[in-house]
Amino acid sequence: MTKAFSIFGSRSKPQLGPFEQQLLQELWSRGSATVRELLADGRIHQAYTTVMTTVDRLYKKELLDRVVEGRAFRYTPRHTAEELQRGAALDGIRQLLGSGDASSLPLSYLVEALSAHDAQLLDELQLLVERKRRELQSREHKAGGTKSREQR
């Protein structure tokens, strides 16, 4: 999630600090909450006013919705974590594609990065396969040894 948020570091999209991210995670896990409810279970060690200011900032960044409940507001995330992640990823790709003069150049960086990622992933899988094969061979070797001892 942190990775996705870091892509928000553009002027067009809101940038989120660690505490804002923490509050957003809390709200995703709860569905909706008031500031008092957020502070109630003791997982957030900040003053009431700090939390209130931060959720208000998230509301102004259009990441939260709020409704009046008594003398306070009840806050609800406007987007799911997946939606926000997808938006962040798309925004990052758009930024990358729009960053160079030659339009094919950023795309080639992307392809290069993906190929490198794929190759690394395949290397990891290859290692797993080889480890499993060695494990199997040693198991068969041991089984063979036991059998020959029994025959003797």
3 binds other proteins (CB under 8 A): no
Give how far Cα 90 sits from Cα of 6, 22, 141, Å: 13, 23, 52
Of 88, 109, 64, residue with least CA distance to 12: 88
Question: Least distance from C-beta 132 to other proteins, angstroms?
Answer: 5
Question: Least distance from C-beta 137 to other proteins, angstroms?
Answer: 10
Question: Least distance from C-beta 59 to other proteins, angstroms?
Answer: 33
Distance from C-alpha of 72 to C-alpha of 66, rounded to nearest angstrom? 10
Q: Which is nearer to other proteins, 134 or 147 (CB)?
A: 134
Query: Total number of residues binding other proteins (CB under 8 A)?
Result: 11
Distance from C-alpha of 105 to C-alpha of 118, rounded to nearest angstrom? 20
Question: Least distance from C-beta 18 to other proteins, angstroms?
Answer: 30
3-state secondary structure (DSSP) of residue 77: strand
Q: Which is nearer to other proteins, 133 or 147 (CB)?
A: 133
Q: Which is nearer to other proteins, 94 or 131 (CB)?
A: 131
Q: Which is nearer to other proteins, 105 or 136 (CB)?
A: 136
Distance from C-alpha of 144 to C-alpha of 135, rounded to nearest angstrom? 14
- The footprint of other proteins on residues 89-148 (CB under 8 A) is 118-119, 121-122, 125-126, 128-129, 132-133, 136
Of 71, 64, 72, 6, residue with least CA distance to 32: 64
Question: Least distance from C-beta 113 to other proteins, angstroms?
Answer: 16
Whether the Cβ atoms of residue 69 and residue 34 lie closer than 8 Å to each other: yes
Residues that bind other proteins (CB under 8 A): 118-119, 121-122, 125-126, 128-129, 132-133, 136
